[in-house]
Amino acid sequence: MKDKSEKTVARTAYTKPLDKPVSYTFTWKIYEDKDEVPAPTPKQLREYWNAKAKAKARQEALVAALTAAGIEKPTLENDEQFRLQQMYKILVASGKSEDEARDLASTTLGIEWADEDE
């Protein structure tokens, strides 16, 4: 195993462009031979693959049960209230007050808010 260093430049941070690029260097250890790579034990392999299979089966069964019950995952395309809620969140995140965001989202999309009691 040996150390390897690289230098790179960040031109964006957290999805926003930086005014001035930031240079930085990082170092990590690299494996030079397959014998250096730690091998998982048979128990670790079984646990990994069993957990993966269980999670997949659980998710598939959940989707099937929800579909059978007539419950559809809300998306921007199939659920007006979901669309309204997402627009509201964006407006609040951009600095609008909650009341202003609620009114603006409703007006912009032409969708009325469902009563909270429903």
pLDDT at 5: 95
Q: Which helix (H) or strand (E) holds 3?
A: strand 2-13
Residue 2's Cβ-side half-sphere holds a number of Cα atoms within 13 Å equal to: 4
Q: How far apart are CA 102 and CA 109, in angstroms?
A: 11
pLDDT at 15 (0 to 100): 75
Weakly modelled stretches of the chain, pLDDT under 70: 116-118
What whole-number distance in Å separates Cα of residue 68 and Cα of residue 73? Answer: 13
- Can you give the pLDDT at residue 14? 82
Q: Tell me, what's the pLDDT at 20?
A: 92
Distance, C-alpha 48 to centroid of its chain: 23
User: 45 near 62, Cβ under 8 Å?
Assistant: no
What pTM, to 2 d.p., does this model score? 0.51
